[in-house]
Structure 1
Amino acid sequence: MSKSVLITGCSSGGIGYALAQSFQRRNLVVFATTRDLSKMVGLKDLPNLHLLSLDVTDPYSIADAVEAVKQVTGGPLDYLVNNSGRGYWMPALDTDIEEGKRLFDVNFWGPLRVTQALSPLLVAAKGTVVNIGSINGYLNVPYAGIYSASKAAVHVLGETMRVELAPHSVSVLTIVIGSIDTGLHNKFPAPKLPSNSLYTPLEGKVQDSAQARDFIKRQKPEGYAEEVVTDILAGKTGKIWRGKNALKTRYGRILLPMSVQDHILVAHSGLKDLVKK
């Protein structure tokens, strides 16, 4: 039987959707998942591609997906791609703690829940876990602190899992993605600052950041997906940096003084104007 892959977060227009298409073109059995199946209708007629409803925050939904995979593969799963993600942009002092917990439930606990549930299938196949990280996990981007913290946590979790799963012949690959045009910024309403916020004059800047109205050039997910699938199928492990601005971030954070990094990241945030006021 062909090798198999399960991908979380495959809504149309995003990274998971493009990954599902790329894996399918390379003759893998693909399990494309998202909470709402209607968001994957463009994939439904592709051969060897199975659409599954999966909420990474719901253990029962995850258990149903595990059983669905077993029914098709007979037991093993070769690749798991933890791609589901949630966004949240807000100054740290104005963060809604409950909203922050919901973000971590998807971005951090979700990959761990899914990996735990699928681990027997991955061990049976001597498979690979792929965690989708972000350059935000290495950058102090104003208003993105909670999202960035969740991705930094994914990086640490992935590298720890790599060491822990090695004795069971399961590989772990963490992909630090760069600037990709995924539509993530458009899935939630523009943030509204609380009435007592210290950043009220910058509400427009916060909203610009949340809606990706900025100077950053982003790569289309299709090209990124092709590169990443090549990496996965080549057996790469550890941590790799892929996508626009990924390598700039990797080396810039090492070579540039912190003051220069701060200047670049703060330049369009309005924070310098707030200091003057």
Structure 2
Amino acid sequence: MTSRETVLITGCSNDGIGSALALVFQQRGFHVFATARDPSKMSKLNGLPNVTLLTLDVVKSTDIKAAVSAVSKETGGTLNYFISNAGHNHFMPILDENLDTVRDLFEINFLAPIALTQAFAPLLIKAKGMAVYVTSISGYLNIPYMGTYGASKKSLEIAADTMRLELAPFGVDVLEVVTGAVKTLGQTYFEDFALPPQSLYKSIEDIIAARAQGKDGMPRMESMEYASKVVDEVVKRTTGRFWCGNNADSVKMSTTATAVPQSAMDAGAVIGTGLEKLGK
């Protein structure tokens, strides 16, 4: 049974944000449970000391149950940090969206993190741990062709903001990492991007495809630099939002200017809800 602090991270395939986070946590002495749908895609983590690879398709309840069981067996039923990173990127004009595709997008980006939080909550509560959700600056900007993706990430952020209040009485902290541009393999999903034949945007398909493929001229933060900054905040038990990645700070300044601190907003939000009576 591990005596180290533990962290479970979803979406740890090679050269992505999850993999970088796993490497930084491992280097800092944590026992890392790194997960992905296909463990063979976590080869850069395979064999590292204090790293346990688990198969976890975040939309499969059987995988979630198996992951909870594996972590519980290793730790005696506790988990210090849960990091919901797995997600799916998506580009499409809203008029051209296949609604089944959008449903799948919300299943992965919004419902799966909630299901995982419910499943790991007993372990986090026992450890008085922390849940961390990787969200996106696209939830704050009306970026053309990313409307449904941005909506899925903003939805997760709203749920995480609420969970911050609902989990506080049980000693569990919640952090959202509002993520800007980071250099990963995410853009490789779109090598065969195509609009439907009837699309009103067909004449600019090449421009949309180039943006989907990351050919937008936007500088991107190295994934290890991003991961190091994020882990710094996690181990400090920062709550609320941490903005990280290229352009994150400028988006924060332009979209969230307010004189009211989050702590005051939180205090006002829980008045009369009964939450203030829990955990006493």
Between 180-189 and 240-249, the greater mean CA deviation after superposition: 180-189
2:232 counterpart letter in structure 1:
T
Secondary structure class of the residue paired with 1:62: helix
Q: Give, in whole Å, the separation in 2 of the partners of 1:188 and 1:206.
A: 10
Q: Does the 8 A contact of 1:19 with 1:229 survive in 2?
A: yes
C-alpha displacement of 1:254: 5.1
| Matched residues, number | 255
Give the 5 Å matches for 1:156-175: 156-175=158-177
Q: Give, in whole Å, the separation in 2 of the partners of 1:230 and 1:254.
A: 23
CA distances 1:204-243 after superposition (whole Å, capped 9, x unpaired): 1111121111121101100000010010001101111111
2:143 counterpart letter in structure 1:
V
C-alpha displacement of 1:188: 4.1
2:82 counterpart letter in structure 1:
L
Q: Which runs of 5+ in 1 are unaligned?
A: 256-277
2:173 counterpart letter in structure 1:
S
CA distances 1:85-142 after superposition (whole Å, capped 9, x unpaired): 1011010000111111111111111111111101100010000000000101101111
C-alpha displacement of 1:252: 2.1
Indicate whether 1:231 and 2:233 are aligned. Answer: yes
Q: Does the 8 A contact of 2:190 with 2:209 survive in 1?
A: no
User: Where does residue 217 of structure 2 map in the other structure?
Assistant: 215
User: Where does residue 267 of structure 2 map in the other structure?
Assistant: none
1:105 to 88, 100, 107: 107
User: Where does residue 128 of structure 1 map in the other structure?
Assistant: 130
Indicate whether 1:70 and 2:72 are aligned. Answer: yes
Q: Give, in whole Å, the separation in 1 of the partners of 2:69 and 2:191.
A: 35
User: Where does residue 60 of structure 2 map in the other structure?
Assistant: 58
User: Where does residue 13 of structure 1 map in the other structure?
Assistant: 15
Q: Percent identity?
A: 44
TM-score when normalising by structure 2: 0.89
C-alpha displacement of 1:253: 2.7
User: Where does residue 115 of structure 1 map in the other structure?
Assistant: 117
Q: Which runs of 5+ in 2 are unaligned?
A: 258-280
User: Where does residue 2 of structure 1 map in the other structure?
Assistant: 4
Q: Does the 8 A contact of 1:77 with 1:127 survive in 2?
A: yes
Q: Give, in whole Å, the separation in 2 of the partners of 1:217 and 1:242.
A: 13
1:64 counterpart letter in structure 2:
A
2:248 to 246, 251, 254: 246
Q: Does the 8 A contact of 1:190 with 1:210 survive in 2?
A: no
Q: Give, in whole Å, the separation in 2 of the partners of 1:220 and 1:183.
A: 12
User: Where does residue 35 of structure 1 map in the other structure?
Assistant: 37
Between 123-132 and 102-111, the greater mean CA deviation after superposition: 102-111
2:156 to 154, 157, 161: 154
Q: Give, in whole Å, the separation in 2 of the partners of 1:98 and 1:254.
A: 32
User: Where does residue 272 of structure 1 map in the other structure?
Assistant: none
Q: Give, in whole Å, the separation in 1 of the partners of 2:5 and 2:111.
A: 26
C-alpha displacement of 1:190: 3.0
User: Where does residue 85 of structure 2 map in the other structure?
Assistant: 83
Q: Does the 8 A contact of 1:135 with 1:246 survive in 2?
A: yes
Q: Give, in whole Å, the separation in 2 of the partners of 1:211 and 1:116.
A: 34
Indicate whether 1:46 and 2:41 are aligned. Answer: no
2:162 counterpart letter in structure 1:
T
User: Where does residue 267 of structure 1 map in the other structure?
Assistant: none
User: Where does residue 94 of structure 1 map in the other structure?
Assistant: 96
Q: Give, in whole Å, the separation in 1 of the partners of 2:86 and 2:256.
A: 29
Q: Give, in whole Å, the separation in 2 of the partners of 1:82 and 1:120.
A: 16
2:170 counterpart letter in structure 1:
H
Q: Give, in whole Å, the separation in 1 of the partners of 2:24 and 2:41.
A: 18
